[in-house]
Amino acid sequence: MKTCIANGTIVTDEAEFVGDILIDGETIAAVGKGLSSLADQVVDATGMFVLPGGVDEHTHYGSFGGLLFDTTAAAAVGGTTTIVDFAPQARGETLADAVEKHARLAKGVCCVDYAFHSMVMDAAADLPAQIAQLPRHGVSAVKIFMAYKGTPYYMEDEKLIEAMMAARNTGVTMMVHAENPDIITVETRLLLAEGRTDPINHYFARPPIAEAEGTRHAIRLAKFADCPLMVMHVTVKEAMEAVRDAFDQGQPVFGETCTHYLTLDTSYLAKPNFEGAKYVCSPPLRPKEHGKALWEAVAKGWLTAVSSDHCAVAGGFAAKKRGMGDFSKIPNGCPGVQERMGMLWAQGVMKGRISRQKFVELTATAPARNVGLEKKGQLTPGFDADIVLYDPSYQGTFTVADSLAGLDYIAYEGFPMAGRPDKVFLRGRLIAEKGRYVAPAGLGVRLRAKPYARAYEAFSPHAEEYTF
Ligand code: URP
Ligand code: ZN
Ligand code: ZN
């Protein structure tokens, strides 16, 4: 079966032009003009922007208390056709077993295609050997947490250095959650001793300097270990500058930021009636000047991707209320997989902060490259036919009533929409239309991410060793 998406404005990370996309089965067969006559059916895309399906390189379905894959239709209606999810590790479990267990939860349930990152929650003595196994399981990256001291996530430097060396030797991308844990521990103790328990104190307990220090620290350790580095969810100007400057000096250091750090700020944590708890995530929302610096960073390529860090904490606002009387007990995490692309379009493209090409790069092309997903993120023959027809004329507002994320709130309530995905195709199949999920659940397939991905591109000759 051949389908032609005709007469849309095709937007890539480099160019845009009015034309057609010919889909043969699940794959893009051709991009050009006058392709309709070759197709069995034609979808008229006149007036639409034709974009690659989004790739969200950072989601938490099931980790950090997040809801599971039965809520992934939210990704689809928002234009994201691939998620890369963090597989939580149980105590005593290997990283590879954790990934395979997590994959079983997604199979037949996930509504978009999915790959996995590993995340260390039990740094066993054989951690380096476990990291070395990850490429065999289609996992190209492992995240370690310098923060969350006192929980299974936290990792001390000695282990981190060993992990970096193992990652470097096997082409696994080392991802870090870079916040200085001791600043956070001390600040939290001081604030609680003063009786300061409200959600806004989550920000004061994790000040910008904690992230700046953590980021510089991680970059230095990576230099010592000769390991490429990906700094996740960069939120402060100084951390962003540390990533940018290290890269400029020839160290393979990259960073991403997230929708909420670009579009929300610390004032949301101060919302009355404990509403601020809905916005508790780590690192925390920052004062506006950091958001401004992050927009400049994504526009100029100093940060390579915008992810959602989607974490729809099960139980919604009621679960967040577990932290009433002690902000440090508020479960961390912000939902956002559904709104990531629409928010970035409305707040980025429409406000002139980024071009449409940059939008495509940040939401699809670059994350696919970061993760090593070879057939995702581009409108190019041979790539998967993951395609969004974006209707720029639609006007509305983001609201929880339209959310498929499974919570009783969203992070972007009331924000204006400047268009929306009119149709979303996953490997050639229509899965979402006008904000509704229109396919059977669970059509997503597991993807194998290739090691020696972007962080290694200028670094290693081994990239060709892995084919799946
Ligand atoms: O608050 C957040 N970001 N929850 C998910 C965990 C993480 O550190 O990414
Ligand atoms: Zn993190
Ligand atoms: Zn995260």
pLDDT in tens, 168-220: 999 999 999 999 999 999 999 999 999 999 999 999 999 999 999 999 999 99
| pLDDT on residue 464 | 53
Query: Is there an atom of ligand 1 within 6 Å of 60 CB?
Result: yes
The model's pLDDT over 440-455, given as tens digits with 9 standing for 90+, comes to 999 999 999 999 999 9
Distance CA 432, CA 422 (A): 8
Say what percent of the chain tops pLDDT 70. Answer: 98
| pLDDT on residue 122 | 94
What three-state secondary structure class fits 94?
Answer: coil
Residue in 41, 45, 20, 17 with CA at minimum distance from that of residue 30: 20
Query: Is there an atom of ligand 1 within 6 Å of 177 CB?
Result: yes
What three-state secondary structure class fits 87?
Answer: strand
Query: Is there an atom of ligand 1 within 6 Å of 153 CB?
Result: no
Provide the residue type at 383 as one letter.
F
Residue in 373, 84, 371 with CA at minimum distance from that of residue 230: 371
Q: Are 463 and 454 in contact (CB under 8 A)?
A: no
As a whole number, mean pLDDT of residues 121-131 equals: 96
Q: How confident is the model at residue 349 (pLDDT cuts 50, 70, 90)?
A: very high
Flag whether pLDDT at 462 surpasses 80. no
The model's pLDDT over 232-267, given as tens digits with 9 standing for 90+, comes to 999 999 999 999 999 999 999 999 999 999 999 999
| pLDDT on residue 415 | 98
| Mutation test residue for ligand 1: of 179, 285, 311, the one with most atoms within 8 Å of CB | 311
For 173, residues 6+ apart whose C-beta sits below 8 A from its C-beta are 140, 141, 142, 167, 228, 230, 370, 371, 451, 453, 454, 455, 456
User: Helix, strand, coil % (nearest 5) of the chain?
Assistant: 35, 25, 40
Cis preceding-peptide flag for 283 (omega within 30 of 0): yes
Please give the number of the atom of ligand 1 that sits closest to the Cα of 282. Answer: 1
Q: Ligand 3: distance of its center to the CA of 44 in Å?
A: 38
Q: Are 63 and 86 in contact (CB under 8 A)?
A: yes
Strands 173-177 and 229-231: parallel
Distance CA 398, CA 23 (A): 31
Q: Ligand 2: distance of its center to the CA of 64 in Å?
A: 10
**CA end-to-end span of the chain, whole Å?**
26
Say what percent of the chain tops pLDDT 90. Answer: 97
Question: What pairs with residue 417 in β-bridges?
Answer: 396
The model's pLDDT over 72-118, given as tens digits with 9 standing for 90+, comes to 999 999 999 999 999 999 999 999 999 999 999 999 999 999 999 99
pLDDT mean across residues, the chain: 97
Query: Is there an atom of ligand 1 within 6 Å of 120 CB?
Result: no
As a whole number, mean pLDDT of residues 333-347 equals: 98
Q: How confident is the model at residue 130 (pLDDT cuts 50, 70, 90)?
A: very high
Query: Is there an atom of ligand 1 within 6 Å of 419 CB?
Result: no
Provide the residue type at 277 as one letter.
A
Please give the number of the atom of ligand 1 that sits closest to the Cα of 86. Answer: 9
Query: Is there an atom of ligand 1 within 6 Å of 432 CB?
Result: no
Query: Is there an atom of ligand 1 within 6 Å of 429 CB?
Result: no
Q: What is the pTM of this model?
A: 0.97
Q: How confident is the model at residue 458 (pLDDT cuts 50, 70, 90)?
A: confident
> Residue 275's CB: how many other CB atoms inside 10 A?
15
Q: Ligand 2: distance of its center to the CA of 233 in Å?
A: 7
| pLDDT on residue 459 | 64
Check residue 434 and report its DSSP letter: T
As a whole number, mean pLDDT of residues 362-382 equals: 98
Flag whether pLDDT at 460 surpasses 80. no
Distance CA 271, CA 251 (A): 41
Flag whether pLDDT at 461 surpasses 60. no
Query: Is there an atom of ligand 1 within 6 Å of 278 CB?
Result: no
Ligand 1 atom 5: residue of nearest CA = 333
Q: Ligand 2: distance of its center to the CA of 85 in Å?
A: 12
